[in-house]
Amino acid sequence: MDQAKVQQILNWPPPRNLKALQSFLGFANFYRRFIRNYSKKISSLTSFLKKDSCFPLNEEALSQFHQLKEAFTTAPILSHFNPSLPTIVETDASNYALGAVLSQVSDSGKHPIAFDSRNIIPAVLNYEIHDKELLGILWALKN
């Protein structure tokens, strides 16, 4: 990783307004496949995108902002997809997000290929947990 670019990310100031937050989240969305539990890591930040949100960010959102900066500057250990290896799709559903990991098993163990996550829409919040888990499986297989 280019240390100058890493330092720029580490020096990124916390967003002070909606435009700055949108800029940061746009950058973050580009790298979402490389960050495990991405949707969980931005949940407090995205709440500030709502109309009439007040800045500055609260402590939870600031913590998520700093966690994301750390995730961007830590090289992920992802492998390239190999169609000849066994493939595993793992999913998880919480009360507010779905997550998935695509992995493959080789002689040296299980290696992640890609991560994906998304927030649960309000209508799904009322689902029973087993229905959320099933939704997570269907969503992961589609993506």
In the chain, the domains with their CATH numbers are 3-73 (3.30.70.270), 87-142 (3.10.20.370)
Six token digits for residue 91? 């999913």
Any idea what DSSP says for residue 12? P
Judged by average pLDDT, the poorest of 8-17, 19-28, 56-65, 68-77 is 68-77
In angstroms, the Cα distances linking 8 to 11, 24, 79 are 5, 13, 26
37 φ, ψ to 5°? 60, 40
How far apart are alpha carbons 89 and 92 in whole angstroms?
10
Is the per-residue pLDDT at 47 higher than 60? yes
Six token digits for residue 110? 């299980």
**Confidence bin at 109 (pLDDT 50/70/90):** confident
Are 62 and 12 in contact by the 8 Å Cβ rule? The answer is no
pLDDT at residue 2, as a whole number: 65
How far apart are alpha carbons 38 and 26 in whole angstroms?
13
Any idea what DSSP says for residue 35? S
